[in-house]
Amino acid sequence: MGLVKACDLSDLEDGEIFKAEIEGQPPLAIYLVDDEVFATSDTCTHGEASLADDGFIEDGQVVCSWHDGAFDIRSGEACRLPCMDPLRIFPIEVRDGEVFVEL
């Protein structure tokens, strides 16, 4: 699909998770951590929790508050049970204050 705009950089706050809704795609979670932007799939692989709605960032991981599982934001790897399957990750490009994801 190529590069698709996910949000504006101004939508993001450091340490917060933004839910990007792109038509025809499952939602994405966009993270701003130490001035770097990352994107993963938004739905926890353990259940149906939205990480943007019900998760938080801690030490480079996104923690799902439903059952306290966690994923590495950079790699998508599941790093705490009960999460076992990784999140999808998406390359990011920030251009002129806009955040694009490679789908």
The residue (of 7 and 44) whose beta carbon lies closer to ligand FES is: 44
- Return the percent helix, strand and coil in the chain, to nearest 5: 5, 50, 45
Stretch that binds ligand FES, among 5-13, 20-28, 43-51, 87-95 (CB under 6 A): 43-51
CB of 77 to ligand FES, least distance (A): 14
CB of 68 to ligand FES, least distance (A): 6
Q: Which residue has the tokens 């770097």?
A: 36
Q: Which of residues 8-27 bind ligand FES (CB under 6 A)?
A: none
CA distances from 48 to 17, 51, 74 (A): 17, 9, 21
Q: Name the closest residue to ligand FES (Cβ).
A: 47
69 CB-contact burial (10 Å; exposed 0-12 / middle 13-18 / buried 19+):
buried
Q: Which of residues 45-84 bind ligand FES (CB under 6 A)?
A: 46-47, 49, 64, 66-67, 69, 82-83
Using only the alpha carbons of the chain, give its radius of gyration. Answer: 13
Residue 21 and residue 38 in contact, taking contact as beta carbons nearer than 8 Å:
no
Interface with ligand FES (CB under 6 A): 44, 46-47, 49, 64, 66-67, 69, 82-83
